[in-house]
Amino acid sequence: MYVFERKEIFFQTLHPVTLLLYILIMMIGTILTTNPFILMGFMTAVVFALIVAKSFKTWIRSLRMYGYMVIMLMTINLFINNMGATVLWVGPVVPVFGRISISLEAIIFGLVMGLRLFIIYSLFIFYNRVMDPDKALSVFSKVFPKSALLVALTTKTIPYMSQQLQSASEIQQCRGLQYYTGNHISRIKNRLPLIKVLLFSSLEDSFNLGESMQARAYGSGPRSCYYPLSFGGRDILVSFSSTMALLALVWSRMLGWTEITFYPKLGTSLTSKQHLYMIIVIGIFMILPVLVAWGWEKWDYLKLKI
Amino acid sequence: MGLFEIKNLTYFYPDREKPALDKVNLQVEEGEFIFLIGASGCGKSSLLRAMAGLLPDYYGGKIGGGVHYSGSSLGKWDKNQLAREVGMIFQDPEKQIVMTGVKQEIAFGLENINIPYQEMRRRIAEVLALFGISSLKDENTFHLSGGQKQKVVLASVLAMHPKVLLLDEPTSQLDPLAAQEFLNYVQRLNMEWGLTVILVEQRIDRCFHLADRIIFMEDGKVLHSETPRKTVEWAAEKHPQYIPPVSQFFSKWRRENIPLTIKEGRAVLNGMAVKEWINPYKEERNSIEATGNAIEILKLSNVYTTYNKKDFVLKKVNLHLWKNSITVILGENGAGKSTLLKTIVGLLKSVKGKIEYRGKDITHLKPEKIAAHIGYLSQNPNDYLFHDTVEEEIFFNLKVRGEKDDKRVEKILDLLKLKDKRKMNPRDLSGGERQRVALGTVLVTNPEILLLDEPTRGLDVVLKDELGETLQVIKHQGTSILMVTHDVEFAAEISDSVMIMAEGEIIADGKKREVLANSLYYAPQINRLFKGINDQVLNIEESIQVINKIIEQAAIG
């Protein structure tokens, strides 16, 4: 069950704007890029960031669910996509889908898509671990009051909903519903009431929470901020790094280096030496904040200085 | 002129034809402690909401008349400024906490009213110290107990330095110890800081004597507004359930100077009592169990349960439940009471020991199989409700078993007085009615055993009496009841046997009088009143028998 924990983690000490910038650039970069080398740079950065944020184990544990999802997507793509030129296997004709064929391009496309999903999924886990929802609400509610509130409350509500799901599931079992016996369809059908209970209860709870917030003057005028937030050395370092990575990404995109063609034949991932240097630059600027975080953790001098 | 001036206040919730508040006139002086009483739905909470400026702003609806605070109509008050003056606390702490951190939650209100950072830090440190929760300042609010959460909510409101505190059943979700601690803080805030307090609360015996004035409401109207002593005299005949048990007892035989507390009551009794042993309670010797005709319906032998495979939450639990009986389990939070019920219904598996239903081992049966014989009503009735109508909700338990209605739903609607609500959506009902629907879903399958987890939580005195009557009917129809509660008065009223649990073990088990009478912590108010005069008395009826005997003896003497 996810509950936000405040710990001595470098990324938690950053200004929410810095942190959001770093995560957003990686996320937007992943969405806009199909070049596997750039994606691998992002992947390395996010995996090391998770390790430095002490959430590697949580991430590994949650990968099972992600794994099922990616395998399913890759399999579907493999069978319904007939655009690849390098055909490896030709199967029978299936109604609606036509002739089933598996091509090298479809396999590579599936792997790249899987990698992108992997990075985005890992970024969400990283965000949940390091972004203090209270800090985010305090800071972002000045600019985006509704969105900030929505994100903060969602984060806060997850553990409560998980608890509620558990108790509602117990109750429905005691009413005679079978969750663990019977066929798959009846099990899924028997779980539908849980979603209804959860939805109704969440709506009621939100109404009560809103009332309490109104009674405490939320949204009634200008807000002050509990956090003495100022841009420190670490924020400047991480923001600089993120901005440089962003500029490098924009430049690469303008030159067409962030994408490769998959169909009908695979394009080249590396077109020139300059292309390689640019990929290295993007990778370095994405990994630099992780290195600083690691140094901050290990080296007291750095902790004092930034 | 009063701090609050309420004139002809009438309010209709959206789409309702009956007013929630009906021409309410009221004046509240600065520094007053007002205790609002009345049946569920009589308008107490609506009145508080109107005073906090939430009606009609948050709820919509139609409003007439006016609420004036400090000489100005609430409508003219800037919302930000009003929140600095009037703080409100609601029932369930979980539904009020916005932030994940304790300090941040306290800061939430201060940020909203634009308090500068340095001032905020000072105020947060002060309220943390005031409520003794400095050690929790870095905790995640999710990990706090109910009592701690409600203290954080109170601290969060207090940090805004309000002049008025409106409290809408703030202890209804708390255990007795946490509730008492919370009420002590409220009393201190009124006595030492001069805060004006307006409190709605079901724990009448704990709050009556704290107030300067009691306001009794009925059908949206203020029927009575007087000092506690005058209110006791007024309510003794018409609304006795709304006065403390001690006062109820004395009101049976005197009309003036009715004591409000045990201390006052004992002073009266000491002045006239013949302190000799009177024991009119021999009926238990003829109880079912004692006559040897008892049918053991449920038996637990040496049951152990654990959540983490290391620490046992239940340890060596032995329990016997007899047919047609009501057994109550009392104990502190975390004693293992709810775990025991969950273990019986198969939601938790015992790692050691045996659970037998009518001699048949059910230890390893799945919950849905056990449910055919043992009904379970959890603390939160909302977990049961997802159908569009009350009757569909109740019928669902038969439907999943493939059973026909056979007019059973009809009988349950009748028993639980829900006939006029049958076509309503259960989520549109009040808390007490929702609980009756949840109970209906359990009872419709005619279980032989009924397990209830804190069924009186959040119920007012009238609903509690009704629940007690229903449980007696169910018992006489052949169902055995095992109930977990914190409500000692309710236990003393309806139970046959009582068990006390502590640290996962049953530390006391016997007839209710053996366990409750003369107990330091679990004795009902009437028993404490009669301590040393007749230690066996548990409720008002019994106490009247004793006092009649004392008067008789005094007359003879």
Q: The complex's ipTM? A: 0.86
Are residues B441 and A224, on separate chains, in Cβ contact within 8 Å? no
Domain boundaries, chain B: 4-234, 324-348+362-524
User: CB–CB of B441 and A193 under 8 A?
Assistant: no
Do B93 and B146 touch, CB atoms closer than 8 A?
A: yes
* Per-residue model confidence (pLDDT) at position B277: 45
- Whole-angstrom Cα distance, residue B339 to residue B345? 10
Interface test with B, best of A216, A220, A230 (most B CBs within 10 A): A216
Buried b (16+ CB within 10 A) or exposed e, B128-166: bebbebeebeebbbbebebbbbbbbbbbbbbbbbbbbbb
Tokens of A193: 């009431």
Give the distance from residue B397's alpha carbon to the nearest chain A alpha carbon, in angstroms: 6
Which residues of chain A have a CB within 8 Å of the CB of B108? 216, 218
Output b/e per residue, A22-57; b: 16+ Cβ within 10 A. Answer: bbebbbebbeebbbbbbbebbbebbbbbbebbebee
Given a contact cutoff of 8 angstroms between Cβ atoms, the answer to whether A148 and B98 are in contact is no
Question: How many other C-beta atoms lie within 10 A of the C-beta of residue A238?
Answer: 24
Q: Do A217 and B366 touch (CB under 8 A)?
A: no
Residue of A nearest to B50 (CA): A215
Calpha distance B51→B66 (Å, rounded): 10
Mean pLDDT of B87-97: 93
Give the 3-state DSSP-derived string for B336-371, with helices as H, strands as E and coil as C.
CHHHHHHHHCCCCCEEEEEEEECCEECCCCCHHHHC
Chain A residue closest to B347 (CA)? A170
**Tokens describing residue A197:** 């209970």
Task: Decide if B143 touches A, using CB distance below 8 A.
Answer: yes
| pLDDT at B285 (0 to 100) | 44
pLDDT cut 70: percent of chain B above it? 94
With both helix axes pointing from N to C terminus, report the angle between A233-254 and A16-32 in degrees, rounded to the nearest 10: 20
**The dihedral sign for the CA sequence B196, B200, B203, B209:** positive
What's the burial of B121, exposed, middle or buried (CB within 10 Å: 0-12/13-18/19+)? Answer: middle
Evaluate whether B501 touches B340 at the Cβ level (below 8 Å): yes
pLDDT-derived band of residue B51, with 50, 70 and 90 as boundaries?
very high
B:323-342 residues touching chain A, CB 8 A cutoff:
342
Q: Which residues contact B372 (CB under 8 A, 6 or more apart)?
A: A176, B401, B445, B447
Contact assignment for A208 to B95 by CB distance below 8 Å:
yes
pLDDT score recorded for residue A190: 80
User: Which residue has 């319906």 as its token pair?
Assistant: B297
**A132 vs B contacts (CB less than 8 Å):** 100-101
Handedness of CA A210, B60, B25, B16 (dihedral sign): negative
Q: Could you read off the pLDDT of B514-537 as tens digits, one per residue?
A: 999 878 888 898 888 888 777 788
State which CATH number among 3.40.1710.10, 3.40.50.300, 3.40.50.720, 3.30.450.40 fits the domain covering B4-234: 3.40.50.300
Position B165 scores a pLDDT of: 97
B58–A contact, CB cutoff 8 A? yes
Q: How far apart are CA A194 and CA A204, in angstroms?
A: 15
Minimal C-alpha gap between A159 and chain B (Å): 8
Q: Name every chain B residue with its beta carbon within 8 A of the beta carbon of A226.
A: 103-104, 107, 110-111, 117, 120
Q: What's the rounded Cα separation, in Å, for the pair A81 and A238?
A: 41
Are A170 and B95 a contacting pair at CB < 8 A? Answer: no
> Is the pLDDT confidence value at B88 over 50?
yes
Please indicate if any CB of chain A lies within 8 Å of the CB of B96: yes
Q: What is the pTM of this model?
A: 0.86
Helical ranges in A53-101 per DSSP H: 56-80
In this prediction, residues B382-388 reach a mean pLDDT of 92
Nearest-Cα distance to chain A for B467, in Å, is: 21
Within 10 A of A232 (CB to CB), how many other CB atoms are there?
13
> Mean pLDDT across the stretch B134-161?
93
Question: Which pLDDT belongs to residue A96?
Answer: 74
Phi, psi values for residue B509, rounded to 5°? -155, 120
Q: Do A221 and B156 touch (CB under 8 A)?
A: no
Instruction: Give which of B453, B442, B364 is closest to B400, Cα–Cα.
Output: B442
Chain B residue with minimal CA distance to A205?
B95
Assign B178 to helix, strand or coil.
Answer: helix
In the sheet with B21-28, reading across from the earlier edge strand, the strands are B21-28, B4-12, B62-69, B72-73
Task: Give pLDDT, residue A188.
Answer: 80
**What separation in angstroms does the CA of A85 have from each of A60, A268, B12, B270?**
36, 15, 71, 103
Partners of B375 on chain A (C-beta within 8 Å) are 174
**Residue B383 is nearest to which of A137, A167, A205, comparing CB atoms?**
A167
Q: Please, what's the b/e burial string for B51-88 (b: 16 or more CB within 10 A of its CB; e: otherwise)?
A: bbbbbbebbebebebebbbbeeebeebebeebbbbbbb
Q: Do B90 and A208 touch (CB under 8 A)?
A: yes
B371 touches chain A (CB under 8 A): yes
Give the C-alpha distances (Å, rounded to integers) separating B48 from A171, B36, B70, B88.
34, 10, 16, 8
Tens of pLDDT along A132-186? 989 888 888 878 888 888 887 887 788 888 888 999 999 998 988 877 667 778 7
B52 pLDDT higher than 80: yes
Q: Say yes or no for a CB contact (<8 Å) between B78 and A138.
A: no
DSSP-derived secondary structure letter, B429:
S
- In this model, does residue B172 exceed pLDDT 90? no
Residue A306 DSSP code: -
- Partners of residue B104 in chain A, C-beta under 8 Å: 134, 138, 226
- Per-residue pLDDT, B293: 65
Which residue does chain B place closest to A227, by CA atoms?
Answer: B117
CB contact under 8 A, B383 and A164: yes
- Residue A288 belongs to what H/E stretch? helix A273-298
Q: How far B370 CA sits from the closest chain A CA (Å)?
A: 8
Give residue-wise pLDDT tens across range B415-445. 998 999 999 999 988 888 899 999 999 999 9
**CATH code for B324-348+362-524?**
3.40.50.300
- Quick one: pLDDT at residue B290? 52
Is the Cβ pair B88, A205 closer than 8 Å? no
List per-residue pLDDT tens for chain A, 306 residues long: 578 888 889 999 999 999 999 999 999 999 999 999 999 999 999 999 999 999 888 888 888 878 888 888 888 888 777 787 788 888 888 777 777 888 888 888 989 999 999 999 999 999 989 999 898 888 888 788 888 888 878 877 888 888 889 999 999 989 888 776 677 787 788 888 888 899 988 888 889 999 999 999 998 888 899 987 778 889 999 999 999 999 999 999 999 888 888 888 888 878 888 889 999 999 999 999 999 999 998 888 888 777
Please give the pLDDT value at position B286. 45
State the smallest CA–CA distance between residue A252 and chain B in angstroms. Answer: 41
Give the distance between the most distant pair of CA atoms in chain B: 75
Q: How far apart are CA A190 and CA A202, in angstroms?
A: 20
How far apart CA B111 and CA A222 sit, in angstroms, is: 9
Q: What is the per-residue pLDDT for B273?
A: 53
A5 Cα to chain B: minimum distance (Å)? 7
- A134 CB neighbours in chain B (<8 A) are 99-101, 104
CB nearest A211 (choices: B58, B117, B345): B58
Top pLDDT among B164 and B146 is at B164
To the nearest whole percent, how much of chain B has pLDDT over 90? Answer: 70
